[in-house]
Amino acid sequence: MLINRYGWLTVFFALLTAVLQAADGLPLAVTPCTRPPKLDGALDDPAWQDAAQIAGLYLENTSKAAPETTVWLTRDNQWLYLGFQCLNSNMAHVAQTVFKHDDIYPNFYANESVEIYLKPDAAKDRYYWFVLSAANVGMEQRLQKTPVSKQEVAWSAPWRRLTRIRPDGWTAEIAIPLYALECDDLSGAQINLVRNFRQVMLDQMGAKQGEQTVMSTLQPGTPDRRYTHDFQKFAAIAGLGGFRPEQPFAPKIAAAEAAGLQESDGNYFYDVNIKLMRFTGIKGTALVEVVENTGDGENIKTSKLVQMDGIMPPGYSGPYQLDLTLKTPAGELRERQVKVKLVNPDNRSLLAETTIDDLSALQLIKKIFVGRSYYTSEQNAEIVLELGLPEALRGKAALVVAVNRAAISKFQDLTTEMTLQIPTAKLAEGDNNTTVRLMAGGKELAVKELNIRRLPPRPGFEVKADFIRGALLRDDRPVFPVGMYVAHWSTNFPFTVDAAPDDDEALFKYLAGIGFNTLAHAHICKEPGGLEAAAASAGRFAELADKYGMNVVEWNSPMPKWPGYKPGDSRPPITQPLGERTAYQRQWYESLEPTLIAVAKELRERRNVLAYYNVDEPNLNDSDIKIKVAEWYYETVLKIDPYRPQFLLYSMNIPHGDNWTRWGQVLGFDIYPRPFTGRIFSEPGWYTAYYAYKLRERCRQDHKVMFFVPLSNYLDLGRTPISMDKAHLLCQAYTAVIY
């Protein structure tokens, strides 16, 4: 296509006008497309050439241009289409932390992502929020501010999106259904756009030192325009009025799961069970595809054309639903990613897709873990596993277990779920590198590496984590801790954690009388030195607790410190590369380590010590550093006292990956209900149940013991200005106990 110089000027001024209109709060003009773009993430469809373009955003709270993001907008009577080109020259180094749709924690802002805010009616404060990461993980919510603030996390809409990651960034194509904005006339609609750019810091050798989010927004920022949800940040969007939005054909993949491997005539296959639904009453046709990726890109393994015609059994009044099963060839028995896609059979535009997260049914060794954190006088150590072998192959296969490279056991007559008994007499004291191999016909089908720890018996001081039953065992008897944090344990004023007068026994007697059997002693190591005082304080606390029959969880782990820290300082923005921050923290940690060792040596001789409290909330505030400190503390204490577990407490979310859970045998959440503030925070029972469920599932996944720390009454005046009443407290406590 040829464009003369006047044509180029026209395009230039159109782009300039779009940018200036956004900056001045004037309407962004969105023109209708003659043919909707094909949604494949590529941005090469002709519809984008005539779309309105925004050639850049503004750095948050400034008037400085951020040209790394280009946005295109067009529409028809059913959809608002948005295309994003997001440049990032260090895209190969960008981490991904969000993996599930609507997973609020960890937040999307710690990922390369874009946000779209749509306010359909200028006279009302209801608005809609769509977030999409570069990895094509989405989140949507409906919100309003008055008369009561509401954030509807469970709200859902059939918006379509597809991303493509490129060496220099990523692209996205999005379609938002206009009918879902619940407004018949969108002539007064407003929009805000946000890009969360992940700035990667590399050293001179190209090694990654860290990354942080740099936000850019549609309009320039001012002191009174800081919040992306602030309506002052929104711009009017013209071209959406003069028609009533039409409902589109909007199919939904309500559920998809992979069933177990099967064998037929020497070939392996598996069934994918799919449940399809429709958001609207509009009928249509879709091509259902099962797509695999075994490391060589996506490949369509099977497909089926389905008519979603809405014909339902007589008397059925629920939503349209279609269940189908697609028989999928498995090929070689190896790891794979599996997606289910719905595409338009005419142009292969994406209609919906979902990734099947749980593929354990396709793994030959679906689950495997050691039963206890360590073994002493037990006759056998236990390895628990679940196999995904087809039934015809089980009789031909065997499990071979080797300890420290020496084969010690062979198991045949395999079943789906097994517990392997490994004689402890064949284990050396300390760590035992254990390999479990699944063999058939002389071929290795799968292999897993484990560690079994054996320690000399120490009766009276053994606290083991039983990962099979999810419990702590003191001398092989279950312990169910119920207690509280005692941050300031002196009954005298001012409160102190360094020492306690003898008459403070009244506090311990009172807490034991309530029915508590465990106290967490907050004696955080903040400064080097004072070895004797720190050990004496920890010992004195454990002694008084023991006198009244209570266990102790000792919190002596250090809190990370930043350069130039002074007591009372608030944490400054992170500007140093990760390597510099790590080196600084390591030096700081080594200055504290003698105190940590002194406290651990004191406590290892106390029979009522239940666990050591590792670094508090490592998912918050420079989490890369905090998890490193948690690793250092874990190793320090493990050498002094390997007989007690370590406890990792998180604030409502544990990031993805086993590096966040390997530095403790016990995982916990602390949560912060805020009565009378609206949303989920104001319902302690609901709030507790939601996060207890999330924690329980993570503990099951990573084979850990679960602790839960409900908030007692209030945290502080800033975060919980109105404390919970007795009914709230009981509701929260009972919910936690039930889980």
- Three-state DSSP at 720 gives coil
Give the pLDDT confidence score for residue 545 in this predicted structure: 93
More confident residue, 733 or 504: 733
55: which residues sit within 8 A by CB, 6+ positions away? Answer: 15, 18, 19, 67, 70
Please tell me the distance from the alpha carbon of residue 497 to that of residue 487, in angstroms, as a whole number.
7
pLDDT of residue 552: 95
E strands, 404-492, where?
A: 406-411, 417-423, 430-440, 443-454, 463-466, 471-474, 477-479, 483-486
Supply φ then ψ for residue 178, to 5 degrees. -70, -30
pTM recorded for the entire structure: 0.76
Helix or strand run (H / E) with residue 22: helix 5-24
At position 313, the amino acid (one-letter code) is P
Indicate the length of the chain as a whole number: 739
Local structure of 142: helix, strand or coil = strand
Q: How far apart are CA 669 and CA 647, in angstroms?
A: 11
Mean pLDDT of 550-563: 88
CA atoms within 13 A on the CB side of 157: 26
CA distance 355 to 100: 9
Q: Residues 451-467: what's their mean pLDDT? A: 97
Q: Can you tell me whether residue 14 is helix, strand or coil?
A: helix
Residue 503: its pLDDT value, please? 52
Give the end-to-end CA distance of the chain in Å, rounded to a whole number.
Answer: 65
Q: Residue 255: beta bridge partners?
A: 275
Bridge pairing between strands 69-75 and 52-54: antiparallel
What confidence tens digit (pLDDT) does each residue in 408-420 have?
Answer: 999 999 999 999 9
Dihedrals phi, psi of 401, to nearest 5 degrees: -110, 130
User: Cα separation of 50 and 242, whole Å?
Assistant: 20
SS (H, E, C) 361-386: HHCCEEEEEECECCECCCCEEEEEEE
Quick: pLDDT tens for 15-69. Answer: 333 343 344 445 688 989 999 999 999 999 999 999 999 999 999 888 899 999 9
Closest CA to 438 of 385, 484, 507: 385
Q: Is the dihedral of CA 40, 43, 46, 51 positive or negative?
A: positive
Give the separation between CA 391 and CA 413, rounded to whole angstroms.
11
Q: Measured between alpha carbons, how far is 165 from 340 in angstroms, rounded to an integer? A: 20
What mean pLDDT comes out for the span 246-271? 90
Task: Write out 432-445 in H/E/C secondary structure.
Answer: EEEEEEEEECCEEE
Nearest alpha-carbon partner for 393 in 446, 430, 431, 341: 446
CA 499 to centroid of chain Cα atoms: 40
- 716 or 627: which leads in pLDDT: 627
Residue 7 pLDDT exceeds 60: no
pLDDT at 687 over 60: yes
Rounded Cα distance between 460 and 478, Å, is 14
Question: Residue written as tokens 């969000």?
Answer: 98
Position 622: which residue type? D
Where is 392: in which H helix or E strand? helix 391-394
Top-ranked range on mean pLDDT: pick from 110-114, 263-267, 371-375, 507-511: 371-375
CA 102 to chain centre: 10
CA gap 341, 347 in Å, rounded: 14
What confidence score (pLDDT) does residue 221 get?
A: 74
Task: Specify the DSSP class assigned to residue 517.
Answer: -
Q: Are 131 and 213 in contact (CB under 8 A)?
A: no
**What is d(CA 484, CA 492) in angstroms, rounded to the nearest whole number?**
19
> Per the omega criterion (within 30 degrees of 0), is the bond before 32 cis?
no
Question: Quick one: CA dihedral 475, 476, 481, 485, positive or negative?
Answer: positive
| Residues whose CB is less than 8 angstroms from the CB of residue 436 and which lie 6 or more positions away in sequence, other chains included | 365, 368, 383, 385, 399, 400, 401, 420, 447, 448, 450
Poorest-pLDDT segment among 306-310, 355-359, 377-381, 483-487: 483-487
pLDDT tens digits, residue range 171-220? 999 999 999 999 999 999 999 999 999 999 887 778 787 788 899 999 88
Looking at residue 683, its pLDDT comes to 81
Sequential DSSP letters for 518-584: EEEEE----SS--HHHHHHHHHHHHHHHHHTT-EEEEE-PPPP--TT--TTPPPPPP-S-HHHHHHH
Of residues 599, 629, 635, the one with CA closest to residue 521: 599
392-406, 495-509, 560-574, 661-675, range with the lowest pLDDT = 495-509
Residue whose tokens read 């030959």: 364
